[in-house]
Amino acid sequence: MGLLFAHFGDNLLLALPLTNGRPLALTLRPDGTILVFTACVTLMAAFLFGCAPAWSAARIDLNVALSTNTRNVMTGAGNQQSRWGLRRHVVIGEVALSLLLLAGAGMLVRSLWKLRDVNPGFNQDRVLLCGVDPTLVGYGGNRLLNLYEQLANAIATLPGVRSVSLSAVPPMSYRQWRTGVFVQGHLAGTNEDTTTPWNLVSPNFFGTLQIPFLQGRDFTPQDNLTAPKVAIVNEAMARFYFGTDSAVGKRLSFIGPGAGEIEIVGVVGNAKYGSLREATPHMLYLPYAQPPSGSLEFDITLEIRTAGNPASVAGAVRQAIRGVGRDVPILGFTTLAEEVNYSLAQERLVADLSTCFGLLALILASVGLYGVMTYTVARRTGEIGIRMALGARPPQVLWMVLRESIELVAIGVVIGIPLVVVFAHLISSQLYGITKGDPLTLCVAMVLQASTAAIATYIPARRATKVDPMVALRNE
C-alpha cells in the first residue's frame, strides 16, 4: 500500500489508498494566500517577541548609564531587578508548560501502547483481504451467489492458501450494518437500544479468522434461501439476552414487515469490528445466502489465510479471480494486520505530534534555564569571588547556583501538576486503559524535566566554581 503522486499542469494529485481498496484523490494546488499568511505570521511573531527587549533598552536612563561601569550599562541598572524577575517568571512558565506537554504526550503514548495490546478477538496474522464488487457489472441473485462460491473454491486451491471465507463487512473496516432486532422472551427496557450490528458471512468465516466457537455449529452450504433462516451470535449478545442460558435454539427476528423468525444455531467469541477502542459490540451473523431483505446484491471481501506472507499470494489470487470472471471489479488488496494498524492511525498521529511538542517545550525550557543561570553567574561574579576569597569551597558554590535552579524548577512543577490534571480531563476521550492524570506518566515527566534541568544548570554552575577570586574582585 503506497501513495500515488501525479502532476497535472500546476496541480499535484495525491491518491491515498483506503482500507476497502478504493483510492481517495486529493488535489493539492500552490496557494499564494497561504504563503503570504504564513509569512505575515512569521514577521508578526518576530516583531512581538522583539518588542520587549527593544522597549527595555529604550528606557535606559542616560545619566545612570554614564555614571556606572560598563557591565551595568549592558545589563541596564535601572531595570535590572524587574528584568531579572521577568526572566525567572518566564523560566517557571516554560517549566510548567513543558511538564504539561510531556505528561500529556506520555499519557497519549501509553494509551496507544494499551490499544496495541488489545485482543481484537481474531488472529490478524497472515490474512489477506481482497475486496470485489460484481454488482457493479450486473451480477445479482443466484448468479452472484454462484460467482462467490466459485471464487472461494478457486482461491482455496492455490498454493500457500490454508482457508478462504467471504463477508460483507470485514473486521476493522469502519463499515456497519444495523437493524432493529426482536428477541423472543426479552422485554426491552425504556432506554434500551434495540438495534444490533449484523453481517453476512460464508461458512468457515470463523475458522479463517480463528474466532473461537463457544456453542452450536457453523454455517453450511445448505443454509441458503430455501432453507430455514439461521444465525450465529457473539458471546456479548448471547449473555445480554439469555444470561447463563444457552442461546442455541432461541429465536429472534428483524423489526419490520414480513420479517420471519431466525433460529440461533451457534455462539462465537467476541471480536472488534469498528476499532480496538470500542466496547465489545453485540454482533449477529447471517449466512451470506440468506440476506434479511432477500436482495442478493452486495459486494464482499475475501478473507484468505495463508501459510506464509499474505502479499506473496496476491498475484495468484488476482489471476484466480480473473479466471472465474474476467469482468469482476477488484477493489484492492490489503492485509488484516494492516487494517488493525490503520484503525490506530488517529491515535498514532496524536501521540507523535504531542511527543514532538513535548520535547520541543522541554528543549526550550532547558535553554531558558541555561540562559538564566548563565546570566546569574555573570551577575554574581563579584559575590562569588568574595565568597571564595573568604573560604567558600567549589562544592558550596556549585550548590548555591544549583539551589536557585532547583527553586525555579520546583515552582514550575508545582504549577504544572494541576494543569496536567485539568489537561487529562480535557483529553479523556483520547485516553484508553489509563487513569486521568496518570501518576506513573506524571512521575516520569517530572523526572525527565528535573534531569534535563539539572544538565542545563550544571554547565553554568560548574563555570561558577572556576571563578578566580582576585580577577573577580579586580573587575568589581
Domain chopping of the chain, boundaries: 1-39, 83-120+339-476, 134-328
Tell whether pTM > 0.85.
Answer: no
Amino acid at 240: F
Helix (H) or strand (E) holding 120: none
Q: How many CB atoms lie within 10 A of CB 100?
A: 23
What pLDDT is stored for residue 151 in this prediction?
A: 93
What pLDDT is stored for residue 27 in this prediction?
A: 44
The C-alpha cell at 423 is 489537561
The C-alpha cell at 109 is 503514548
Backbone angles phi, psi at 258, to 5 degrees: 75, 10
Q: Give the 3-state secondary structure of residue 289.
A: coil
* Chain CA centroid to CA 441, Å: 17
The C-alpha cell at 410 is 520546583
Helix (H) or strand (E) holding 344: none
Full pLDDT tens readout for the chain, 476 residues: 444 444 434 444 344 444 444 444 444 455 567 777 777 777 776 666 666 566 655 555 555 545 544 444 444 444 445 555 677 788 888 888 888 888 888 898 998 888 888 889 999 999 999 999 999 998 888 888 899 999 999 999 999 999 999 999 888 877 778 888 888 888 877 788 888 889 999 999 999 999 999 999 999 989 988 889 999 999 999 999 998 899 999 999 888 665 678 999 999 999 988 788 888 888 999 998 888 776 678 889 999 999 989 989 999 999 999 999 888 999 989 999 998 888 888 888 888 888 888 888 888 888 888 887 777 777 766 677 777 777 777 777 778 777 878 888 888 889 988 988 888 888 888 888 887 778 888 888 888 888 888 888 777 777 767 666 665 555 55
Instruction: List CB contacts of 94: < 8 A, sequence separation 6 or more.
Output: 361, 364, 365, 368, 369, 412
Task: Yes or no: say if 214 and 267 are a contact pair by the CB < 8 Å rule.
Answer: yes
Give, as one character, the DSSP assignment of residue 134. G
Backbone angles phi, psi at 34, to 5 degrees: -65, -40
CA neighbor of 262 nearest in space, from 282, 240, 285: 285
How far apart (Å, rounded) are the C-alpha atoms in residues 416 and 411? 9
**Which neighbouring-strand residues pair with 13?**
6, 27
What pLDDT is stored for residue 67 in this prediction?
A: 52
Backbone angles phi, psi at 298, to 5 degrees: -155, 145
Q: Give the 3-state secondary structure of residue 124.
A: coil
How far apart (Å, rounded) are the C-alpha atoms in residues 313 and 335? 11
Q: Is 292 exposed, middle or buried (0-12, 13-18, 19+ CB in 10 A)?
A: buried
The CA-atom distances, in angstroms, between 118 and each of 128, 344, 351 are: 21, 12, 17
Where are the alpha helices (H) located in 190-242, listed in sequence order? 205-209, 235-242
The C-alpha cell at 292 is 434479511
The CA-atom distances, in angstroms, between 418 and each of 91, 412, 442 are: 18, 11, 11
Amino acid at 237: M
Give, as one character, the DSSP assignment of residue 78. G
What pLDDT is stored for residue 318 in this prediction?
A: 93
Helix (H) or strand (E) holding 105: helix 80-116
What pLDDT is stored for residue 5 in this prediction?
A: 40
How far apart (Å, rounded) are the C-alpha atoms in residues 281 and 255? 19
How far apart (Å, rounded) are the C-alpha atoms in residues 202 and 165? 6
